[in-house]
Amino acid sequence: MDLDIAQPNEIIGPRLKKYRVAGYGFLALNILYLVFAFMFVPSFHVDTTTFITIVLFLALMVLLTVFICRAKKRLVQILAVLYGARSLFAIYTLAMGEYFPAVPYFLPCLLVTFYLLGRAGWNWR
């Protein structure tokens, strides 16, 4: 069993392109998600803890993007399920009427990310 997660899988052609699109879309939409979060969060003092948290979030997103672009199918499928669940919860909170003001802006990011990950993970059209 090959445990080296740094090596790309042997996927070629349009299928690999789906993983690359999913990876770069994942990164871009998570950065957009972060921007929306800061636009709607009440003003607060940015201290060391906040700065470290933002840097760690961005580092995690870049790391996950690298693994997605290397066609790690199981990771992509797990992330797709998580983003699908987050999307359903966001839709539920919108329907109930008690939601964070940024949810209408977060929801399209979540749905597009879910689609891009699902398209790569399960080879959707």
Sole residue written with tokens 């199918």: 73
How far is residue 28 CA from its own chain's centroid?
Answer: 8
First to last CA, the chain: 30
More confident call, 6 vs 78: 78
- Which one-letter DSSP state was computed for residue 65? H
What does the pLDDT read at residue 25?
A: 94
Q: Is the separation of the CB atoms in 124 and 118 below 8 Å?
A: yes
Mean pLDDT of the 98-104 span = 85
Question: What distance in Å separates the CA atoms of residue 18 and residue 63, rounded to the nearest whole number?
Answer: 18
Question: What distance in Å separates the CA atoms of residue 125 and residue 106, rounded to the nearest whole number?
Answer: 24
pTM listed for this prediction: 0.83
Average pLDDT, the chain: 87
Q: Is the separation of the CB atoms in 99 and 93 below 8 Å?
A: yes
Question: What distance in Å separates the CA atoms of residue 110 and residue 32, rounded to the nearest whole number?
Answer: 10
What pLDDT digit, counting tens, does each position of 37-78 carry? Answer: 888 887 777 788 888 998 999 999 999 999 999 999 999 999
